[in-house]
């Protein structure tokens, strides 16, 4: 029973982290590409259109803080579950790079891409859209 509870909690936390990652990715990407969709809006609001991708980056940073707590809980549950696996089934897990590191690496890359997008919008896209008017 104890192992089933650990497995259930392990699976829930793991799935929840992936779900939040996908939602953060979708929201960040949608906010990042919004200025490219309607050039007319970019011409009208000019540099104010940068507010959307900036909001996406802030959402990503806030989501990372929330995911940090989930990853800490998941790490504790994973350690207990793997100890149970080792004791009951003799399954040993070699130390690896770690799921949480992959998550942080992914979120960091997404943040860098968001910042690069801001630069392209600011230096290339918006000036081109304004001058095409």
Structure tokens at 7: 């497995």
pLDDT of the residue at 116: 97
**Has residue 115 got a pLDDT over 80?**
yes
- Enumerate helices (H) and strands (E) in the chain, giving the number of each: 5, 0
Residue 26: per-residue pLDDT: 97
Residue 96 has pLDDT above 80, yes or no: no
d(Cα 63, Cα 27) in Å, to the nearest integer? Answer: 11
Mean pLDDT of 97-121: 94
41-94 pLDDT, tens per residue?
Answer: 888 888 999 999 999 999 999 999 999 999 999 998 888 887 887 777 777 777
Q: How far apart are CA 105 and CA 28, in angstroms?
A: 16
Least trusted range by pLDDT, from 19-23, 24-28, 38-42? 38-42
Q: Which two tokens stand for residue 133?
A: 């008017």
Question: Which residue do the tokens 């000036």 mark?
Answer: 127
Answer whether residue 122 shows pLDDT above 90. yes
DSSP three-state, residue 91 = coil
In the structure encoding, which two tokens stand for residue 94, read together? 């070699």
Other CB atoms within 10 A of residue 120 CB: 13
What residue segments make up the domains of the chain, in order of their start? 1-132
Nearest to 101 by CA among 17, 25, 16, 10: 17
Q: Tell me, what's the pLDDT at 97?
A: 66
């Amino acid at each position: 029973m104890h192992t089933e509870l650990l497995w259930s909690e392990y699976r829930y936390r793991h799935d929840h982290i992936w779900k939040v990652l996908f939602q953060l990715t979708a929201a960040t990407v949608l906010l990042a590409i919004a200025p490219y969709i309607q050039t007319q809006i970019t011409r009208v609001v000019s540099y104010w259109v940068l507010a959307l991708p900036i909001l996406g980056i802030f959402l990503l940073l806030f989501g990372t803080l929330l995911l940090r707590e989930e990853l800490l809980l998941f790490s504790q549950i994973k350690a207990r579950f793997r100890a149970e696996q080792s004791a009951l089934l003799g399954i040993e897990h070699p130390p690896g790079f770690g799921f949480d590191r992959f998550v942080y690496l992914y979120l960091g890359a997404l943040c860098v891409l968001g910042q690069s997008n801001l630069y392209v919008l600011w230096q290339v896209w918006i000036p081109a859209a304004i001058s095409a008017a």
